[in-house]
Amino acid sequence: MSKIKITYEPALETEIIEIVQAEYLDGYRLKIWFNNGKKRIIDFEPFLRSARNPLFKKYLHLKELKKFSIVYGNLDWNDYEMCFPVSDLYEGKI
CA dist 78 to 10, 50, 87, Å? 41, 20, 20
CB-based contacts of 26: which residues, under 8 Å, 6+ apart?
none
Cα 48 to Cα 55: distance, rounded to the nearest angstrom: 10
Question: What integer pLDDT is reported at residue 57 of this predicted model?
Answer: 95
pLDDT tens readout for residues 4-33: 766 555 555 678 999 999 999 999 999 999
Q: What is the domain partition of the chain in residue ranges?
A: 19-91
| Cα atoms found within 13 Å of the Cα of residue 91, Cβ hemisphere only | 6
What CATH code is assigned to 19-91? Answer: 3.30.2020.10
| CA-closest candidate to residue 86, choices 16, 6, 37 | 16
Question: What integer pLDDT is reported at residue 15 of this predicted model?
Answer: 82
pLDDT tens readout for residues 43-69: 999 999 999 999 999 999 999 999 999
